[in-house]
Amino acid sequence: MHEMAVTESIAAIALKHGQQNNAQSIRKVNIKLGELTGIVDHYVEFYWDMVTKGTIAEGAELHFIKTPTVAYCNKCKDEFGVEEYDLTCPKCKEADTELISGREFLVESIEIE
């Protein structure tokens, strides 16, 4: 629902690094996006054209690398895939667990010319 605000952040990060590297244009932006963030990539793409119009990032492709929700059980010393946001360990049925993936949201790299 706040895709507009995050699209502006992505553009600001990409443009800052593009300018620092004297890019003529930014061709592609690789974004790591955790499943649990609830960000809808389709909406980010929708705002992207509007936000980057007239900048060196205009027309750049957005590439989303989706990361699944994974937790670690401190008792079993093992990872497990989280389903339905249930952080209970499927093996020992206890909840001494930590989320280790699923909340990432970062600009991983850009491709420039």
Partner 1 sequence: MEIDILEGVFDANEKIARENEALFKEKRVLAMNLMASPGAGKTSLISATLERLQDNLRIGVIEGDIASNVDAEKLKTYDIQIVQINTGGACHLDANMIRQALEHMDLDAMDLLVIENVGNLVCPAEFKLGEGLRAMILSVAEGHDKPLKYPLMFSDSQVLVVNKTDLIGMGDFDMDELHETVEKMNPEITIFDLSCRTGDGLDAWTDWLYEKVKSSTK
Whose CA is closest to 1, among 40, 29, 33?
40
Give backbone dihedrals phi and psi of 68, rounded to 5 degrees, phi first. -75, 165
Question: Which DSSP symbol is given to 55?
Answer: S
Residue 20 or 54: which CB sits closer to partner 1? 20
Question: Which DSSP symbol is given to 37?
Answer: G
**Smallest distance, Å, CB 38 to partner 1?**
6
**Smallest distance, Å, CB 113 to partner 1?**
7
Residue 2 or 58: which CB sits closer to partner 1? 2
Residue 78 or 106: which CB sits closer to partner 1? 106
Residue 79 or 85: which CB sits closer to partner 1? 85
What is residue 67's three-state secondary structure?
A: strand
Cα–Cα distance, 110 to 32 (Å, whole number) = 12
Residues forming contacts to partner 1 in the complex (CB under 8 A) are: 1-2, 5-6, 9-10, 12-14, 17, 21, 31, 36-38, 84-88, 95-97, 99, 105-113
**Smallest distance, Å, CB 79 to partner 1?**
17
Question: Which DSSP symbol is given to 17?
Answer: H
**Smallest distance, Å, CB 76 to partner 1?**
15
Pairing of strands 26-34, 61-67: parallel
